[in-house]
A = this chain, B = another copy of it.
Amino acid sequence: MYNKITDDDIKLLCTIAGEENVLSGDAISPDYGHDELGGIEKMPEVLVRVHKTEEIAQIMKLAWEKTIPVTVRGSGTGLVGSAVPVEGGILLETTQMNKILELDKNNLTVTVQPGVLLMELAAFAEENDFLYPPDPGEKSATIGGNISTNAGGMRAVKYGVTRDYVRELTVVTPKGEILVLGGKVAKNSSGYSLKDLVVGSEGTLCIITEAVLKLVPLPKVSISLLVPFPDMKSAIEAVPQIIRSKVTPTAIEYMSRDTILFSESYLGKKFPDTKNDAYILLTFDGNTDAQVEEDMKNVAELCLEIGALDAYIVDTEERKKAVWSARGAFLEAIKASTTEMDECDVVVPVDKVDEFIKFTHKLAEETGVRIPSFGHAGDGNLHVYICRDQLNNDEWEDVLSKCFDCMYQKAKELGGLVSGEHGIGFAKKEYLKELLGETPISLMQGIKKVFDEKNILNPGKICF
């Protein structure tokens, strides 16, 4: 179905992208054959480090003509195999397209290339007294990757997700045409929103080569509150009550003592408190101390009324760093605690988080595997990890498949969805089919064909 890459193709790629940017065979590091989680592996035939939209357009024209599969990769921080070239072919790496092109203070937008890292964009915005609100845990992800998965992050409770901040995308189609979708405008009712279709499409419809993103003025004050509870049940049950109280925290994260201890050991740094079984961590932001402190005080009092054991204000830079760097390292820390792991990134209604976590605890008991979790209690998006520990291959495959089947089934029962922010990629395709049913999947397949009838762009992902 697909053609293998020939020496002539490689010569053409060198002419387009420069010889120094085209690698093939053993010259490609094995890292390019997998993503952060590593469960899905396949090496590309050629790796091309791209620098310009026009280059990508030329490469896609070549690939379209020759029916060669093309997969796009940013930093490779994905967890579901989206950037793994499962059909081989060309892997385009966008990390060299890492320029911040414009800060437009009249329209509150920033224009970036797709290889800019989230942490670079966040720092640039702050230096200019702006906030780029989406705040996924993986700060070394590229913005192109964030847009492609519609990444959410911690601040979604108050600020929403990546989609809400994408104004305009420059993209290259599978046939090599350059299009601009959306615009540097705040409203748009001009036909079907192709831009919103590309957001979250995991590199399967078009290649994002430039993005205009919305910024907001940087809130002047931001304080966190760490609230210990005697157990996970009471911690999680507090969250809908906080939301009902009509204070809007910027973030509400939950974490268990176990996870915090993994993180302490992984980072070699102390967390302010590890005496208790369960914690919620909240952030509040705003423009005056008085307002932020009042919000925080109201939530602290509410938490203490309903069973919290304490409420620590996290306001010094040092304490903030200790708490949030621990939170940021949870995934890595759990990974380091086991031989292999796989993850489940379901999202459920906020008032079903409690029931879902209890379900994973029961599942851990029944199956005898460790299933640590952490996540975004305030927006219903959980990160649940199934740890292999000492299991042999067969046992691991059995238990993994059993746990996933049960968890996605439970998410469906609770009105949830397969992925809150990590995407479907290769790893979660079957669960998406199972949860959505035939018609939505066949609509997605139809849309994929409209953009890419030869199925050359990131084949084998989401719905095929």
Chain A interfacial positions (CB closer than 8 Å to B)? 104-108, 129, 149-152, 156-157, 160-161, 163-164, 173, 177, 179, 181, 183-194, 196-197, 199-201, 205, 216-218, 240, 243-244, 246-248, 286-288, 290-291, 294, 345, 347-351, 376, 379-381, 415-424, 432, 435-436, 439-441, 443-444, 446-451, 462-463
Contacts and interface: CB of A to CB of B under 8 A. Distances in A.
Copies in the complex: 2
B248 A415 contact: no
A291 to B, nearest CB: 6
A347 B436 contact: no
A189 B106 contact: no
B189 A244 contact: no
Contact of A105 (B188, B244, B288, B443): B244
A58 B120 CA distance: 53
B381 A187 contact: yes
A147 to B, nearest CB: 11
A273 to B, nearest CB: 28
Contacts of A164: 160, 164
11 contacts: A107-B243, A152-B189, A157-B186, A163-B193, A183-B415, A185-B381, A185-B420, A186-B379, A187-B379, A188-B419, A190-B424
Given A185-B417, A197-B197, A191 B288 contact: no
A187 B347 contact: yes
B186 A156 contact: yes
Contacts of A423: 189
A107 B194 CA distance: 29
A189 B415 contact: no
A191 B108 contact: no
B189 A149 contact: yes
A216 B419 contact: no
A107 B150 contact: no
Given A217-B248, A443-B450, A347 B290 contact: no
Contacts of A163: 193, 196
Given A157-B186, A424-B190, A351 B201 contact: no
A425 to B, nearest CB: 10
B183 A347 contact: yes
Given A105-B244, A156-B186, A443 B451 contact: yes
